[in-house]
Amino acid sequence: MSTEQKNYGSALYTLITVFFFWGFLAASNGIFIPFCKTHFDLTQFESQLIDFTFYGGYFIGSLILYYGSQITKVDFLNKLGYKNGIVLGLFISTAGALSMIPAVNSGSFAFILAAFFFVAIGFSLQQTAANPFVIALGTPETGADRLNLAGGINNVGGLMGPIVVSLILFGTISARDTTVVDIKSINNVYYILAGLFVAVALFFAISKLPKVTSDEKVESSKKTNLPLFVIFLGFLMILASDPLASLTGLPKSAYVYGSLVLIVFSLIGCISASKNNPQGWGAMQYPQLILGMLAIFIYVGVEVTIQSNMGALLKTPEFGSYDESVISPFISLYWGSLMIGRWTGAISAFKIKKSTKRILTVVVPFVAFAIVLGANHLTGSNINHLFPYSICVIVLIAGFFMGQEKPAKTLAVFSILSVIAMLIGLFTTGKVATFAFLSGGLFCSIMWPCIFTLAIAGLGKYTSQGSSFLIMMILGGAIIPPVQGILADTSGIHLSYIIPVFCFAYLAYFAWKVSSELRKQGIDVDRMEAEGSGH
């Protein structure tokens, strides 16, 4: 028995290293995007296509699994097995990582985007299988603790990604001279990633692990096929915006903005359509789920777009004229902010005295902030100019006390704080505006579990299907950054940060609206507890 537990422990520790690299790659895009913009002489919109392909891969992967299950009436991943799903996903990501080397060597930005896409397809399969697998590697009672541990490792990856990639790209040259940087130096990252993906895949392939399956029936929902297809068309509109603009004579921006409008209204339309006749809509017959799908779409989009456009913002004279080689502390601080907030949010998972919980709610954020500063200091970055960010950490702590561990109230508080922060950033410049925008990471940190909990409340037998729909809406990370990018190209990078204002405003509205919908169904939102460690 002890041997079996030891094997499961080894499997858990090996598996959560994959969580690290999910966070590592997503966060490192904040360095790679502005670098590629300069290297390939891209517009701001074109530079955001890195996020488009990366997060689009998650969406396409989820869509393939969903349609496969609906057509065959069999849960495809369940039939394949979660263990095999993780192994297959790792090998797909390995192929994507290895294809990045010839892509970079070719000097083709389109080839690089294709490589990113296949890495993300593999990540999509891994994430879909890994979460239930982590829960299965031990007792059910401690499953949430293992997910929180994995989420914490993911946050550490997010903290380290910008630092490591910046060192690899710029570490051998003077701080502000990027003219001699060879993009091929990034190949080392992908050689290492490919090797680690293969190593973890082989470990899982030969390990004797518990068989993780689901006995849940695949619920039919034929009427959801059309709106999901329309959302897919919205995704393709951005991909085809250049040829469509040439063909029709309309500006490219019309198709980029049109993509967002098409996706948003296809979801909103489902609310009235399913209300009139819920038969055949599956999980989408519940308004809280559709509102939540839009909330996850916007939440992931705003979380990604703030930092993805940050490199271009920091290059402007009003924000310090920073070069790509010296922005890593800011990008690292942004993703580190997510870690600060999630570590603080994780305190509520422990059964401790209220007085101890209050003390930890004050202490933990500053400990996490110190770790973020320490990680940057160890790599030789100047961190003195980051200390004033502690004011934002204090605001985060106040927000936690105001939220009272209630999902709807917590989401409302942090959404309103985010709107205020983004407006401060819009109407000021320099360090004040920079820290205001970066604080979006702090306030985003706790939103995923709040949105997820509220969106799946009351779904009953459709809970699993509803969760799959919510995961699909990671698509927001592919759509909203290019939307902000095209606005930046036409109206300036600073003004483009009005996009996060609108995003956070919707999340505040969602907190109010979903509470109203759930109360109509007899669900007490004040008694609910947020679940999950966040995306």
Closest CA to 234 of 258, 210, 267: 258
Tens of pLDDT, residues 104-157: 888 888 999 999 899 999 988 888 777 777 777 776 656 656 766 777 788 888
Structure pTM? 0.89
- Answer for the pair 437, 422: CB distance below 8 angstroms, yes or no: yes
pLDDT of residue 532: 52
pLDDT of 482 strictly over 50: yes
With 0-12 CB in 10 A as exposed, 13-18 as middle and 19+ as buried, what is 161? buried
pLDDT of residue 531: 55
DSSP character at residue 249: -
- Answer for the pair 378, 187: CB distance below 8 angstroms, yes or no: no
Whole-Å CA distances, 161 to 49, 147, 211, 317, 366: 19, 21, 33, 26, 21
What distance in Å separates the CA atoms of residue 437 and residue 298, rounded to the nearest whole number? 16
The residue-averaged pLDDT of 321-347 equals 87
List the alpha helices (DSSP H) in 250-389.
252-276, 287-308, 310-314, 328-345, 354-378
pLDDT of 215 strictly over 70: no
Tens of pLDDT, residues 240-273: 999 999 999 999 999 999 999 999 999 999 988 8
3-state helix, strand, coil in the chain (%, to 5): 80, 0, 20
Q: Which of 89-98, 215-224, 253-262, 487-496 has the lowest mean pLDDT?
A: 215-224
**In which residue are the tokens 């339309």 written?**
269
The residue-averaged pLDDT of 486-512 equals 96
Whole-Å CA distances, 480 to 68, 300, 499, 533: 27, 9, 8, 23
What distance in Å separates the CA atoms of residue 494 and residue 316, rounded to the nearest whole number? 9
